[in-house]
Amino acid sequence: MVSLFTTPGKPSRLGNFYLKVAFVFTSFLLLTFVLLPNDTNLRGRRNPQHRPFRLHPPRPSAEFTFGFSHFLSLFSAHHYLRPTKIILHTNCYPSSFPVHAAKNGTSGIWNNLIFTLPDLNLEINTVQVPLTASNGKTIQNMEHKSDFVRVAQVHSHGGIYLDFDVHVLRDLSLLRKSGFKAIAGRQLGGQINSGTFMSVPHSKLITLWKKKTGEVYTGGWTDHSNEVITAVGERLVREPGEMLIMEREAFAPGSWNSGDTDALFQVHKNTKNAGVNVTDVFANKGRLPDFGEELHDRWEHPERFESWETDWSRTYLLHAFTPDRWSHKVPGFDRITPRYVLERKSNFARAVYPVAKIMYEKGWIEEAYLDSHDGK
């Protein structure tokens, strides 16, 4: 982990912070990232701005398998949260084969961009993977090892934790500076979502969560994560400034249910309003259009919006639960590719289009990879 922008007795400058990333390789990708604090001395201790992603290859010969969706998620954080550096926490060494393969492009263009773009300024930090919980039970699943890492790192350094299927839709600085020592949001069913949360170092929430994670771990999917943060977080609301719980729409507006994943990712082929002919844009080397909304547009000009279109005004973070792991087929949807996003024919595409548009304008989206989710 990196040191904070703090000097003993002096607050750090608010404009500077590192983006921390800790990655964990597993049979499928579970990527997370945390934003670390840039000020721990102000009254109320502002929520920090740093963020870790996690990936650990199961063997030295494995490659990073980042896709366009991961690059999109990472750049959304960079764009809206403006870190000065990104630190990748992984069990790979900087000189390892997976890092070399990502940098030289053999593992795909999206891996190459993530590891080499000056804008992202990626720095690698090698970490150890936990093997045993404090109750003596072996931590077997890589996802659960990742859970232990995220809590330990946020406990030590503070920050904003986001799963890698979370896309930032707007700046979090007002929440981060609100004075609350920990902030999280509800998910479907009322539990607190453990894929998006923020905390100052050593807050009561993260301290109790870290302690109980090792005590209650059973190998179950949510015993040590959602259930613990919900029980502890709800209790801490009673203590001034310790915990703020956001409504579901703020951090996790969708869910893992088929109806919600369909509503988010379904392709609407007969889109009449605000679609984009991406083929023509590339053929003419043209500019992508803006689709900004004014406050009153949805009331005064409803004809500009599709009947299926979601209003993301209440959403800071879009936790885009994908149906891949449940083998559910969303109508018209296969993978998140540049074309899928830029054509704006789904709710997900319309939510993240502003970030993808910037990526196109920077020259990072080439015509040859319009339909490539893995960059190969």
Q: Residue 176: give its domain's CATH number.
A: 3.90.550
Residues 201 and 285 in one domain: no
Residue written as token pair 């929440």? 175
According to DSSP, the β-strands at 182-186 and 244-246 are parallel
The answer to the question of residue 63 being in a domain is: yes
Q: What is the DSSP letter of 305?
A: S
Question: Do 351 and 254 touch, CB atoms closer than 8 A?
Answer: no
The answer to the question of residue 4 being in a domain is: no
pLDDT of 315 over the 90 cut = yes
pLDDT digit string (tens) for 233-264? 999 999 999 999 999 999 999 999 999 999 99
Q: What is the CA radius of gyration of the chain?
A: 20
Residues 107 and 23 in one domain: yes
Residues 234 and 308 in one domain: no
Q: Final residue of a domain: which of 205, 226, 248? A: 248
Range among 22-26, 42-46, 120-124, 216-220 rated most confident? 216-220
Residues 210 and 133 in one domain: yes
- What distance in Å separates the CA atoms of residue 63 and residue 231, rounded to the nearest whole number? 38
Q: Final residue of a domain: which of 222, 248, 274? A: 248
Percent of the residues in the chain that have a pLDDT greater than 90, as a whole number: 57
Residues 189 and 284 in one domain: no
pLDDT of 282 over the 70 cut = yes
Number of neighbours of residue 243 by Cβ within 10 angstroms: 24
- What distance in Å separates the CA atoms of residue 260 and residue 240, rounded to the nearest whole number? 35
Residues 77 and 124 in one domain: yes
Residues 60 and 197 in one domain: yes
Q: Report H helices in the chain.
A: 68-81, 97-104, 109-116, 142-157, 173-176, 204-216, 226-236, 248-251, 258-265, 278-283, 297-300, 338-342, 347-361
The answer to the question of residue 253 being in a domain is: no
pLDDT of 16 over the 80 cut = no
The answer to the question of residue 61 being in a domain is: yes
Domain span at 326: 258-369
Residue with more model confidence, 66 or 338: 338
pLDDT digit string (tens) for 105-137? 999 999 999 999 998 878 787 777 889 999 999
Residue written as token pair 């699943």? 141
Residues 269 and 130 in one domain: no
- What is the count of structural domains for the chain? 2
Half-sphere exposure (Cβ direction) of 13: Cα atoms closer than 13 Å: 6
Residues 156 and 234 in one domain: yes
Q: Final residue of a domain: which of 248, 266, 293? A: 248
End-to-end distance of the chain based on CA atoms, in angstroms? 32
The answer to the question of residue 2 being in a domain is: no
Assign 125 to helix, strand or coil: strand
The answer to the question of residue 81 being in a domain is: yes
Residue with more model confidence, 13 or 366: 366
pLDDT of 177 over the 90 cut = no
Residues 319 and 346 in one domain: yes
Residues 182 and 240 in one domain: yes
Query: Is the four-CA dihedral 86, 98, 197, 117 of positive or negative sign?
Result: positive
Residue written as token pair 């960079």? 78
The answer to the question of residue 77 being in a domain is: yes
- What distance in Å separates the CA atoms of residue 104 and residue 99, rounded to the nearest whole number? 9
Residues 274 and 325 in one domain: yes
The answer to the question of residue 13 being in a domain is: no
pLDDT category at 210 given cuts 50, 70, 90 is very high
